[in-house]
Amino acid sequence: MIGYDEFFPIQKTYSTDRVPYSVAVGDFNNDTHLDIVVANRRVATVSVLVGYGDGSFANQTTYSTGSRPVSVVVGDFNNDNHLDIAAANSIDNTVSVLLGYGNGSFANQTKYLTGSSPVSVAVGDFNNDTHLDIVVANADDNTVSVLLGYGNGSFANQSTYSTGLVPWSVDVGDFNSDTRLDIVTANLDDNTVSVLLGYGDGSFADEITYLIGSSPLSVAVGDFNYDTHLDIVVANRDDDTVSVLLGYGNGSFANQKTYSTDSQPSSIAVKDFNNDTRLDIVTANFGGNTVSVLLGYGDGSFANQTTYLTGSGTLAVAVGDFNHDTRTDIVAVNFNNNTVNFYNWRAAKLFEMLLDEEVEWIESNFDGSVGFELIAICNLLNSKLN
């Protein structure tokens, strides 16, 4: 969806490779227009669609990854001011790094070992050396892998840290206001989030866990009460809620407060959807074939949901201003028909989506540490990754 003064959703559809699974946003050719990258699980590729700046996109160009890429993120890994791509490959237990040339094209992948069944990837500078590092959530061995970047596009071997059971989504942010990035995971099987505080040298403290709702599938961070401390929000698939945990700014969090969504919220994103400078929440609801929008009051609390019909199932989504009108637009991945759709909406009235197909997992990175548009990557598995 692309924002207009009048509410007028416009759908545009573009082909991807087979079984598109997650999506991320960035300017890959340095023309100030946002582009997208999609991870295609079935055929082990990513599709890059270069944006024209008017809400339309060129046909895809595909690049090879490892086996079953299920999460994708972007960042400048070699400090050349060109965005690069990282994809988590859940079958061969690797992360693929594809360096960007700055013209919308990418070099062949380099793969690095991770833990077992990596299902979510995020980036940040964990050792304060100005080089981006990678963190991956490994669903099958209950760990995160941290790969420190050398600043030339290559990475050190992984260091692993324990999380809760089946970490399904990972995000990063500075939770204790010490200028060092920390890690949070949503743990599918024990209904917790794990917070791992960073020491600023690329290593992390043992996890601290907080109870949330049932079967959390997606985690995001943002300052919901404008106290300059990052908070956590999680989509809980099996009890149709989101959990909001307000941060104290010392690395600890208040007990959750829950808000209702539609059936089976499987992914979550954070953005100001009504231009009031307060962060709002949107969830993709697999069971309800809807999205739920919860407007933020700016004090850490949220209004009741407003739901909008989608197509069948929930999809991977990313947001950004794709047509330079200062309003946030949406790109949605269609799992079953191998396409991505773009939609426009009027920010003041929120949005309606026409989505279809099904997708199987989630990831998000909302802290802005990499310096590009918010990325929300949805997941909608009814069971663990096969």
Predicted confidence at residue 39, as pLDDT, reads: 92
List the structure tokens of 97.
């790094």
- Mean pLDDT, range 205-222, rounded to an integer: 96
Total Cβ atoms within 10 A of residue 1? 29
- CB-count burial class (<10 Å; 0-12, 13-18, 19+) for 177: middle
For the stretch 29-48, pLDDT in tens is 999 999 999 999 999 999 99
Which sign, positive or negative, has the C-alpha torsion 219, 78, 372, 67? negative
- Mean pLDDT, range 264-278, rounded to an integer: 86
Q: Is the confidence at residue 347, as pLDDT, over 70?
A: no
* Mean per-residue pLDDT over the chain, rounded: 85
For the stretch 304-322, pLDDT in tens is 998 777 766 656 777 788 8
Predicted confidence at residue 223, as pLDDT, reads: 98
Mean pLDDT check: name the lowest of 14-28, 325-339, 342-356: 342-356
Q: If pLDDT is split at 50, 70 and 90, which confidence band does 376 have?
A: very low
- Look at 363 and 26; give whichever has higher pLDDT: 26
Predicted confidence at residue 328, as pLDDT, reads: 75
- Counting every residue written for the chain, the total comes to 386
SS3 347: helix
Amino acid at 279: L
Predicted confidence at residue 19, as pLDDT, reads: 84
- Beta carbons of 188 and 215 less than 8 angstroms apart: yes
Query: What is the helix, strand, coil percentage profile of the chain, to 5?
Result: 0, 45, 55
Q: pTM for the full model?
A: 0.86
Amino acid at 139: A
Mean pLDDT check: name the lowest of 88-102, 199-213, 331-345: 331-345
Q: Measured between alpha carbons, how far is 334 from 18 in angstroms, rounded to an integer?
A: 10
Domains belonging to the chain, first-starting first, are 12-377 (2.130.10.10)
Q: Which residue has the tokens 């949220």?
A: 302
- Beta carbons of 166 and 191 less than 8 angstroms apart: no
Query: Residue 362: how many CA atoms within 13 Å on its side-chain side?
Result: 38
Predicted confidence at residue 354, as pLDDT, reads: 36
For the stretch 240-269, pLDDT in tens is 999 999 999 999 999 999 999 999 888 888
- Look at 355 and 27; give whichever has higher pLDDT: 27
List the structure tokens of 315.
């999809």
Tally: H helices and E strands in the chain: 0, 30
Which sign, positive or negative, has the C-alpha torsion 302, 270, 171, 183? negative
- Mean pLDDT, range 190-210, rounded to an integer: 99
List the structure tokens of 376.
């929300």
For the stretch 148-193, pLDDT in tens is 999 999 999 999 999 999 999 999 999 999 999 999 999 999 999 9
Q: Measured between alpha carbons, how far is 230 from 377 in angstroms, rounded to an integer?
A: 20
Q: If pLDDT is split at 50, 70 and 90, which confidence band does 225 have?
A: very high
- Can you list the positions of beta strands (E) in 238-367? 241-245, 257-260, 265-271, 280-285, 290-294, 306-309, 317-320, 329-334, 339-343, 363-365
Q: Which residue has the tokens 């997992």?
A: 361
Q: If pLDDT is split at 50, 70 and 90, which confidence band does 341 have?
A: low
Q: Specify the DSSP class assigned to residue 167.
A: E
Q: Cα angle at 89 between 85 and 94, to 5 degrees?
A: 90
Share of residues in the chain with pLDDT > 70 (%): 83
List the structure tokens of 98.
């594809």
List the structure tokens of 380.
């909608």
- Beta carbons of 59 and 14 less than 8 angstroms apart: yes
Q: Measured between alpha carbons, how far is 170 from 251 in angstroms, rounded to an integer?
A: 16
Q: What is the distance between the terminal CA atoms of the chain, rounded to a whole angstrom?
A: 32
Predicted confidence at residue 11, as pLDDT, reads: 56
Mean pLDDT check: name the lowest of 103-107, 161-165, 252-256, 277-281: 277-281
Predicted confidence at residue 1, as pLDDT, reads: 40
CA–CA distance from 334 to each of 50, 167, 173, 338 (Å)? Answer: 18, 24, 30, 6
